[in-house]
Amino acid sequence: MRRRSWTRWILKWIGTVTCVLILLLWVGGQWYWIRLSPGRVLDIVVAAGSLGIDIAPTYIAYPQFEVHTLSPASISDRLGFHLPFSEAPPAFWSVTIPLWMCLLLTGLPTAMAWVSREPFDAGCCRDCGYDLTGNVSGRCPECGEAVGAVREGDDAGG
């Protein structure tokens, strides 16, 4: 039997959920300016296809959540097709990351995790994972693969 890697399974789903959330923020950020300020120093802003994080001493002593509509802008500005940038004036620090870049950084490893095949346990068919314990025919009864044969691209030692 094929043994499932729970860590890999959990990471695949965390990556998938993260990608969906980033897509929702990207789409929502086309029409809305969303600001979350959990306290005195930190502001998180999603607008025009970008995620902005501002660290500044503010006078807001309580958490805030604001949503405003965006005024129409050019399509490239609205989609956030720019590179990350940072500002560091004397009173605050700010970094802006395009959401397409966040999606790319989480989406590629997640897609590779969904597509790549997990190795099968010893004693299983290398092609389909069928348990070959007690098999004496030399072929997998499930897929017909020769048992113990070295396939193209495999090392002779393994």
Name the packing angle between helices 99-115 and 6-28 (round to 10°): 150
Range of the domain at 103: 6-115
Answer yes or no: do 104 and 125 share one domain. no
Domain total of the chain: 2
Q: Is 98 a residue whose pLDDT tops 50?
A: yes
Establish if 101 belongs to a structural domain: yes
In a domain, 71, yes or no: yes
Is residue 15 within 8 A of residue 110, CB to CB? The reply is yes
Q: 15-67: per-residue pLDDT in tens?
A: 999 999 999 988 888 888 888 887 767 888 888 888 888 887 666 667 778 88
Same domain, 44 and 90: yes
24 and 52 housed in the same domain? yes
Under the banding of pLDDT at 50, 70 and 90, the label for residue 3 is: low
Same domain, 57 and 82: yes
Residue 1 lies in a domain: no
Q: What is the pTM of this model?
A: 0.63
Q: Which of 11-15, 43-47, 69-73 has the lowest mean pLDDT?
A: 69-73
**What are 104-119's pLDDT values in tens digits?**
999 999 998 888 766 6
Average pLDDT of the chain to the nearest whole number: 78
